[in-house]
Amino acid sequence: MYLLIASDLDGTLLLPGDTFGAFTKSVIHSLNRAGHHIVLATGRHQTDVESLLDSQSPPVHLITANGARISSACGGLSLSAELSTAVVQTLLEEARADTDLTINLYCRSGWLMSREDENLKDFSQNPDFQPTLCATENLPLQAVQKVFFFQRSKDHDALLRLQARLEQRLGDQIGTVFTFPWCLEVMARDVSKGNALKQLAEFLNVPIKACIAFGDAMNDADMLAGVGKGVLMGNAHAELRQALPEAEIIGRCTDEAVAHYLSKHLLKSADRPA
């Protein structure tokens, strides 16, 4: 029995257009009534995720900013892991010299972006949570949960070189992950969805092996590998499939595959939505 159900959002639980499908909503409600804990684990900002929920949504736990923020449904657990001022300053120094980079910061107050970027339409489609433009020299150094870089020409090799420079300068002070080949994200050391889920499971007194998790990208890898069962989407990135070759692969996010899997395997027949 999986008591804790963790799912990524983009490419996993959400439909295109940043919406929850009707069947997915019904299954989440049924799982909640059956006593399961639901965790939304995402790279998005917490404010972004909260705007996708409404007054009819059941209680859910949130892991946001790739694990930099943890919020339990009851409010008893609220943690935030922020980058140090010195680390943020170094990240900005490295990026300023590259005119093909757009700098993004997730702060407590929201999302700051150094300039307009065409890649934004592929990154966020939520009209209720959009970035505030802020010149690079005015970007804050404090209360930063993560820094992420868009490579404007989508040159993955260029971001790999940036990743190597950052890791050389900052060593074990940071953790990095690609959410897209053209988007490199930087968080504080040991910040990840997997580590955040372990902290949440401990707070809820649920063994991590009693957790099932779903994902589609490399920022889901440690979460999927560390639970009782990690499940990949049919639309999962090739790198994730290679990293977890033994993981079960289900359908695509466009077919609400997570909800169908959970309905079939975790709900009793009488509790399954029509």
Q: Is 270 a residue whose pLDDT tops 80?
A: no
pLDDT in tens, 108-150: 989 999 999 988 888 888 899 999 999 999 999 999 999 999 9
Residue 8 falls in the annotated catalytic set: yes
Q: Choosing from 8, 18, 117, 220, which is the catalytic residue?
A: 8
Going by DSSP bridges, is the β-strand pair 183-188/174-180 parallel, antiparallel, or unpaired?
Answer: antiparallel
Domains in the chain, please, with CATH? 4-80+191-266 (3.40.50.1000), 85-188 (3.30.1240.10)
Closest listed residue to residue 81, CA positions, set 173, 175, 170, 145: 145
Cα separations in angstroms, 50 against 44, 112, 194, 228: 10, 18, 21, 27
pLDDT in tens, 142-188: 999 999 999 999 999 999 999 999 999 999 999 999 988 999 999 99
Mean pLDDT score of the chain, rounded to an integer?
Answer: 95
Quick one: pLDDT band at residue 25, thresholds 50, 70, 90?
very high
What was the pLDDT predicted at 53?
95
The answer to whether 31 touches 263, Cβ cutoff 8 Å, is no
What was the pLDDT predicted at 269?
77
131 DSSP 8-state letter? P
Share of the chain above pLDDT 90, in %: 89
What was the pLDDT predicted at 122?
80
Place of tokens 């065409």: 118
Q: Is 272 a residue whose pLDDT tops 70?
A: yes
Mean pLDDT of 233-262: 97
pLDDT in tens, 209-247: 999 999 999 999 999 999 999 999 999 999 999 999 999
The answer to whether 132 touches 126, Cβ cutoff 8 Å, is no
Half-sphere exposure of 158 (CA within 13 A, CB side): 17
Distance separating alpha carbons of residues 242 and 239, to the nearest angstrom: 5
Q: Which pTM was predicted?
A: 0.96
Distance separating alpha carbons of residues 183 and 202, to the nearest angstrom: 31
What was the pLDDT predicted at 1?
82
59 DSSP 8-state letter? P
pLDDT in tens, 78-93: 999 999 999 999 999 9
